Amino acid sequence: MRRILIINGPNLNMLGTRQPEIYGRETLADIENACRNKAAGLGVEIECFQSNGEGEIVTAVQRARGKFDAIVINPAAYSHTSVAIMDALLAYDGAVIEVHLSNIHRRDEFRRLSYVSKAADGVICGLGKQGYLLAVEAAASLIDRE
């Protein structure tokens, strides 16, 4: 069975409570459940992990080696600052899809640079929850290609 790890970074546990005009009204649990349904339809197993800590995300990426065939990651604010998460993903041997709910190119200038993109096979942004579903689909097909 193909296995995908979905990682969500800092503050994404607060989804649905503030800034709905940017991030939508759905909670992280809604998004994770939609990903589970998508994965079931594709015959893929997924595990979801959220952390507000940079080190915990680095550790999750390190532990994914040999256990998950692909990672879908929304590193949230760490996208724009974390060389550590980028390095961990560069050392990971499976497929990596980066996803953002908002269009990071339409917002503050500092959001336009994502260190994580250097380690990603593909990047999806601006499509809200649908972006996660597309990311799961893309990750599953990248696994098949490898």
Catalytic residue among 92, 100, 115, 132: 100
- Asked if residues 136 and 114 have their Cβ atoms less than 8 Å apart, the reply is no
Residue 15 near residue 23, CB atoms below 8 Å: yes
For ligand CA2, the closer CB: 41 or 53: 53
Rule CB under 6 A: say whether 33 interacts with ligand CA2: no
Using the contact rule CB under 6 A, the part of the chain among 47-55, 58-66, 84-92, 96-104 near ligand CA2 is 96-104
Listed in sequence order, the DSSP H helices in the chain are 20-23, 28-42, 54-64, 83-90, 129-145
Query: Does residue 14 bind ligand CA2 (CB under 6 A)?
Result: yes
Question: How many contiguous H segments (helices) and E segments (strands) does the chain have?
Answer: 5, 5
- Alpha-carbon distance 18 to 143, whole Å? 35
Length of the chain: 146
Distance in Å from the first CA to the final CA of the chain: 14
Residue 100 annotated in active site: yes
Among 37-45, 62-70, 74-82, 87-95, the segment contacting ligand CA2 (CB under 6 A)? 74-82
> Does residue 64 belong to the site contacting ligand CA2 (CB under 6 A)?
no
- Does residue 120 bind ligand CA2 (CB under 6 A)? no
Least Å distance between CB 70 and ligand CA2?
Answer: 19
Contacts with ligand CA2, residue ranges (CB under 6 A): 11-12, 14-15, 17-19, 23, 74, 76-77, 79, 100-102, 104, 111
Residues annotated as catalytic are: 23, 100
